[in-house]
Amino acid sequence: MGEKGDLVRAHVYISGHVQGVFFRATTREQADRLGVAGWVRNLPDGRVEAVLEGPRPAVHACLQWCHHGPPGARVTGVEVEWEAPRGERAFRVR
């Protein structure tokens, strides 16, 4: 395990009742609050896809939030693929 400030990138797929419940907007709020860059978007199959990049503790905190999401969401699964950081600078909704 590296230093606490290591940058990491998580490519995340969230399933369940996650569209139409402000999941993207609240993911952006969480990311901004935690200092995480990346993006979030709805997928045609009903899942939400996100990329979370930043310091390891911040990305892990944002991932924990993704397991329950905003009020109204019912998360049934969170898949995470770890990737090399690509230098994301801000967080945006796609």
Query: How much is the pLDDT for 27?
Result: 97
Per annotation, catalytic residue among 9, 33, 41, 42? 42
- Closest by alpha carbon to 13, among 37, 55, 54, 41? 41
Q: Where are the alpha helices (DSSP H) in 12-55?
A: 23-34
24 is catalytic: yes
Q: Closest Cα partner for 65 from 17, 28, 20, 11?
A: 28
Q: Which of 49, 29, 30 is nearest to 40 (CA)?
A: 49
Distance of CA 67 to the CA centre of its chain: 10
Q: What digits encode the pLDDT tens for the residues 26-72?
A: 999 999 999 999 999 999 999 999 999 999 999 999 999 999 999 99
Residue 24 resides in a domain: yes
Catalytic annotation, pick one of 9, 24, 28, 47: 24
Catalytic (active site) residue 9: no
Q: How many residues does the chain have?
A: 94
Tally of domains within the chain: 1
The CATH number given to whatever domain includes residue 26 is 3.30.70.100
